[in-house]
């Protein structure tokens, strides 16, 4: 989703941080889904929330680099050379020279060759790092979780020296509490699954697996393959490389269920009053008003994420997007390269170059424009846009509620959508109108103007059920946290963090 007015993706950085640290942070972003967010971020078709989170991770990374000394000065392009050959060997080394940088910058690596200074290695025999009435916690259980949490903290801008002790104690406490809860759940028989619960787990596992196939298609070669072949390759990648199967998902859900049932058991008598609901609404309204006014993109993210909106800024309208993507991966890659060339050009000064690039784009869009013409003809003959959206559209977010019926919220200054998409949608004059086909890096779009979004505060009466549910969860969370703290206090817990040093 590219906003022509804000080209942060084009910035280059020089100096201030060791090259290897930059590469390590980028590798972390790759592992956590960041590379997909970097490539697709701020394109026209908002994708599912994995890629939104990836985009947020990239923003965190930029902030980390800036705080560490990297200026946003447009310099240093040679430090960010892109190397497709390296990617074919290892996607995490998709930066020219990265392997050399990692080898030379010894200060990044700890003596035991863990990813970053402060992380722990599983070497030698497991040791007891916590003990409590009825059980103990082993080093082999703690180290992976500690490394994950510490890496996240480092990625967010903290140094290992600053946070490693607090992260370790937090992990020891969390995992000990988890074992105590599991014990209590077993004592109450909550670890036994009913037939209905097993059926629900299988259904949820199937649904999660199906949704993840779309995500993992990003990791397979789609050139010249049918959608069925692409899905099959994605499933093979999931199974063999990511080790994700329906059964692995079901096993995770089974492992999580006893603790969920125990929480429900502990909190079964907790309720909230009307006054508490009102107070929760007032607090959330104040938060959204401040956030959405200062950062309009947060409003757009919140709506796409399906959050309950309590405050609507001025100037927004709801639109639905019928996306016709490029027919092959090769066409999509060519289009992306050409759009990247267009971005810095000035319409007045670079008209000849723009026309030349448009001529190269024309054959890529030709089959999409032919299909769009068929759709437009059906609209003229009385077909409903919603029906055509279901038949032709391939914007995944538009296939699910609430976006399916509510549409995207955009304004003249939308952050998450491309200039082409925003201009084509905002030029529509009355609800019900459909745009002419709009070109973008994602393909061709037909946009339906649904309605204007009423600005201002949303009355509590309109969101009462959602606010009551949120207020209840907040109260239950606090009550359950206090309950777990009491479990820890009563279990005579002893921690031995020094055994992990």
Asked if the structure places residue 334 within a domain, the reply is yes
C-alpha to C-alpha distance for 3 and 419, rounded to whole angstroms: 5
- Domain identity same for 137 and 89: no
- Domain identity same for 133 and 100: no
Contact 92, 25 (CB under 8 A): no
Asked if the structure places residue 301 within a domain, the reply is no
- Domain identity same for 333 and 226: no
- Domain identity same for 250 and 332: no
- Domain identity same for 404 and 374: yes
E strand spans, 104-174: 128-132, 135-138
Residue 256 lies in domain:
195-266
Asked if the structure places residue 425 within a domain, the reply is yes
- Which pLDDT tens digits describe the chain residue by residue (501 residues)? 333 323 222 222 223 333 334 333 334 343 333 322 322 233 333 333 434 444 444 444 444 444 444 444 444 444 433 334 333 333 333 333 333 333 343 333 333 334 456 788 877 789 999 999 989 999 999 999 999 999 988 888 888 888 989 999 999 999 999 999 999 999 999 999 999 999 999 999 999 998 888 778 777 777 777 878 888 888 998 999 889 999 999 999 999 999 999 999 999 999 999 999 999 999 999 999 999 999 999 999 999 988 999 999 999 999 999 999 998 888 999 999 999 998 888 888 889 999 999 999 999 999 999 999 999 999 999 999 999 998 888 888 887 788 888 999 999 988 788 888 899 999 999 999 999 999 999 899 999 999 999 999 999 999 999 999 999 999 999 999 999 999 999 999 999 998 886
E strand spans, 29-138: 128-132, 135-138
Total domains in the fold of the chain: 4
Cα end-to-end span (Å), the chain: 45
Asked if the structure places residue 309 within a domain, the reply is no
Phi and psi at residue 492, to the nearest 5°: 50, 50
- Domain identity same for 135 and 92: no
C-alpha to C-alpha distance for 353 and 498, rounded to whole angstroms: 65
- Domain identity same for 140 and 171: yes
- Domain identity same for 74 and 101: yes
E strand spans, 76-180: 128-132, 135-138
C-alpha to C-alpha distance for 487 and 485, rounded to whole angstroms: 5
Considering only CA atoms, which of 431, 432, 430, 412 is closest in space to residue 422?
412
Asked if the structure places residue 461 within a domain, the reply is no
DSSP alpha helix (H) spans, 224-312: 227-240, 246-266, 274-294, 296-304
Please name the residues in contact with 172: beta carbons below 8 A apart, sequence gap of 6 or more.
129, 130, 137, 142, 495, 497
Asked if the structure places residue 448 within a domain, the reply is yes
According to DSSP, the residues that pair with 491 across neighbouring strands are none
- Domain identity same for 343 and 445: yes
Report angle CA 324, 34, 9 to the nearest 5 degrees. 75
Longest dimension (CA), the chain: 78
Tell me the three state secondary structure of residue 243.
Answer: coil
According to DSSP, the residues that pair with 137 across neighbouring strands are 130
C-alpha to C-alpha distance for 81 and 26, rounded to whole angstroms: 13
Report angle CA 289, 292, 298 to the nearest 5 degrees. 140
Strand order in the sheet with 128-132: 135-138, 128-132, 494-495
What's 107's DSSP letter?
Answer: G
Torsion over CA: 366, 371, 372, 373 (sign): positive
C-alpha to C-alpha distance for 379 and 394, rounded to whole angstroms: 18
According to DSSP, the residues that pair with 456 across neighbouring strands are 312
C-alpha to C-alpha distance for 14 and 254, rounded to whole angstroms: 49
C-alpha to C-alpha distances, 360 to 2, 247, 355, 371, 408, nearest whole angstrom? 20, 47, 9, 19, 30
- Domain identity same for 172 and 72: no
Q: Of the candidates 138, 163, 187, which is a domain's last residue?
A: 187
C-alpha to C-alpha distance for 123 and 499, rounded to whole angstroms: 12
Contact 101, 36 (CB under 8 A): no
pLDDT of 183: 94
Asked if the structure places residue 55 within a domain, the reply is yes
Q: Of the candidates 108, 138, 167, which is a domain's last residue?
A: 108
Contact 214, 233 (CB under 8 A): no
Q: Of the candidates 108, 141, 165, which is a domain's last residue?
A: 108
- Domain identity same for 241 and 365: no
Asked if the structure places residue 247 within a domain, the reply is yes
- Domain identity same for 173 and 249: no
């Amino acid at each position: 989703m590219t906003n022509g007015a804000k080209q942060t993706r084009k910035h280059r950085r020089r100096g201030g941080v060791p090259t290897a640290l930059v590469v390590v942070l980028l590798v972390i972003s790759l592992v956590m889904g960041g590379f997909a967010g970097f490539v697709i971020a701020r394109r026209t078709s908002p994708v599912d929330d994995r890629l939104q989170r990836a985009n947020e991770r990239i923003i965190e990374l930029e902030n980390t680099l800036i705080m560490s000394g990297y200026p946003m000065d447009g310099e240093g392009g040679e430090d960010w050379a892109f190397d497709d050959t390296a990617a074919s060997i290892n996607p995490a080394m998709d930066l020219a020279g990265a392997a050399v940088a990692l080898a030379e910058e010894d200060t990044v690596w700890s003596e035991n060759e863990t990813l970053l200074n402060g992380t722990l290695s599983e070497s030698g025999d497991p040791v007891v790092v916590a003990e409590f009435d009825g059980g103990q916690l082993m080093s082999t259980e703690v180290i992976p979780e500690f490394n994950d949490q510490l890496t996240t903290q480092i990625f967010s801008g903290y140094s290992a020296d600053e946070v490693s002790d607090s992260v370790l104690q937090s992990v020891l406490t969390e995992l000990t509490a988890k074992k105590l809860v599991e014990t209590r759940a077993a004592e109450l028989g909550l670890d036994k699954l009913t037939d209905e619960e097993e059926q629900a787990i299988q259904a949820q596992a199937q649904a999660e697996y199906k949704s993840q196939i779309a995500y993992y298609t990003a990791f397979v070669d789609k050139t010249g393959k049918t959608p069925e072949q692409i899905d099959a390759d994605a499933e093979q990648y999931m199974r063999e490389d990511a080790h994700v199967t329906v059964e692995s998902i079901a096993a995770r859900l089974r492992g999580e269920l006893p603790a969920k049932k125990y929480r429900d058991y502990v909190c079964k008598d907790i309720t909230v009053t009307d006054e508490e609901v009102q107070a929760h609404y007032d607090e959330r309204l104040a938060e959204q008003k401040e956030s959405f006014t200062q950062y309009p993109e947060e409003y757009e993210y919140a709506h796409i994420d399906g959050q309950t909106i309590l405050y609507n800024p001025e100037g927004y309208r709801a639109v639905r997007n019928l996306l016709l993507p490029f027919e092959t991966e090769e066409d999509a890659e060519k289009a992306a390269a050409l759009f990247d060339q267009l971005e810095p050009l000035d319409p007045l000064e670079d008209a000849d170059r723009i026309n030349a690039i448009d001529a190269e784009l024309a054959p890529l869009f030709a089959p999409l424009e032919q299909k769009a013409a068929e759709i437009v003809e059906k609209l003229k003959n009385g077909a409903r846009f919603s029906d055509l959206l279901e038949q032709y559209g391939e914007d995944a977010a538009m296939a699910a509620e609430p976006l399916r019926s509510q549409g995207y919220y955009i304004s003249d200054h939308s952050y998450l959508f491309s200039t082409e998409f925003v201009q084509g949608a905002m030029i529509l004059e009355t609800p019900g109108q459909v745009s002419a086909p709009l070109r973008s890096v994602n393909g061709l779009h037909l946009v339906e103007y649904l309605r204007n979004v009423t600005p201002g505060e949303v009355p509590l009466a309109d969101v009462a059920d959602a606010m009551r549910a949120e207020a209840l969860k907040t109260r239950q969370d606090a009550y359950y946290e206090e309950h777990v703290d009491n479990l820890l206090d009563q279990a005579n817990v002893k921690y031995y963090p020094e055994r992990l040093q």
